[in-house]
Amino acid sequence: MKFTEHVRNPNPEGFNLVIEALAVVLRNRMRKKGVFRLPPAYLDYPHHSSWNDTEALKDIVYDFYGYCFVQKRRSLLGALDKKADIEGLVVCNVDHFLFMRQSKRDSYGYNSFKNCKGSLLTLESLGVVVQEKGVSGKTFRIAGKEGNPSGDHPEPKIADFVCKYPGWGLGAHDVARKSKEGADFVSRLIIEFFAAGGMGFRFEDLVLAVKDKVKSCLKVQSFDEEIHSNRNAVEHAGQTALGELFDLDCVRGKIAGSRNSSTRVDLSAMLQSLMDEYRQGGDFNLAEMANKMGLPTSTHHDQWTRLRGFFQDCARSQIRMIGKQQG
């Protein structure tokens, strides 16, 4: 309970023991995340060559101490009002700190990662993709068990597809900043990857390919007035509409085909609520949507499952159509 006691009573005499304990925690988390084998420059410590250097580890430990026990002291004290100890919270703060250092050093890469993650959360929640856990990490595949939509063409690899995907000239600027437009660009890319015959990919492979493409695009592009004027010309007023990614007429048609009139009304209202939340950049909070519609949570969940199935069916039809157009 070294960390808990240090927060309750920051005795200078125990400072060295806390620093030693932090060094152990940091080193373990960095090894688990694969950061320890990378150059310290990855976390914005360019003046060190290796984490095996005692001075390098000392620098990051002292920086983390300032972040966790000085900047976050008030939140740690607040946590102690509710919990017996904050040992686990300190470990969580290590992860936040490492992400913060990485984003400071590599903002393009960090934002690319966040946009890929946001895109897949949306596609997964709507039933377009399914997440699986394999020995090589998280993988995503197209929902359903249909054959290769591109016919005789070989299944493309996600890295090659990302590299050759059109639209990066302006898309790179969206993906390089954590934005709704950036996540939507990645969503369109994934949908067209499936349309081209792709059946699945590793999350890590997608992120690495997108990061590399964004960085290579921004290296060769000049941020002159012409690019900025083009950028402004294609900027949407407000957030992206759900209809720009999915065939909502197909979804509405399936809703209209529901036998029960009250079900049609509920599903139509739910679709509108979903569109409003998406346009505003919000998450799909089912409890909040149920409250707005005045539905019991259980009923809302059943209707959401049905609407999600409609999105899944329409997305697969949309993917097949794009594949035929590309073929």
Q: Report pLDDT for 237.
A: 39
With a cut of 70, say whether residue 239 has pLDDT above it: no
Percent pLDDT > 90 in the chain is: 22
DSSP H stretches of helix in 145-202: 158-164, 168-175, 180-195
Specify which of 186-190, 196-200, 271-275, 278-282 reaches the highest per-range mean pLDDT. 186-190
- The strand order across the sheet containing 200-202 reads 129-134, 137-142, 200-202
Q: Report pLDDT for 20.
A: 92
For the beta carbon of residue 20, count every other beta carbon within 10 angstroms. 11
Q: Report pLDDT for 192.
A: 92
Could you tell me the pLDDT band of residue 188, with boundaries at 50, 70 and 90?
A: very high
Taking phi first (over 0 means left), then psi (-120 to 50 degrees means alpha), and beta for anything else, what does residue 167 get?
left
Spell out where the chain has E strands. Answer: 129-134, 137-142, 200-202
Locate 146 and state its tokens: 């249909």
Q: Model confidence over 58-89: pLDDT tens digits?
A: 999 999 999 988 888 888 888 888 888 888 88
Q: Report pLDDT for 327.
A: 63
Strand partners, 140: 131, 201
Q: Report pLDDT for 15.
A: 87
Q: How far apart are CA 21 and CA 15, in angstroms?
A: 10
- Domain boundary assignment for the chain: 2-105, 109-241, 243-326
Name every residue whose Cβ is closer than 8 Å to that of residue 13 and which is 6 or more positions away in sequence: none
Name every residue whose Cβ is closer than 8 Å to that of residue 200 and which is 6 or more positions away in sequence: 139, 140, 141, 142
Q: Model confidence over 106-159: pLDDT tens digits?
A: 778 888 888 999 999 999 988 899 998 866 678 899 887 554 444 455 678 999
Q: Model confidence over 292-325: pLDDT tens digits?
A: 777 777 777 888 888 888 888 888 888 888 887 7
Specify which of 100-104, 232-236, 288-292 reaches the highest per-range mean pLDDT. 100-104
Specify which of 116-120, 170-174, 175-179, 258-262 reaches the highest per-range mean pLDDT. 116-120
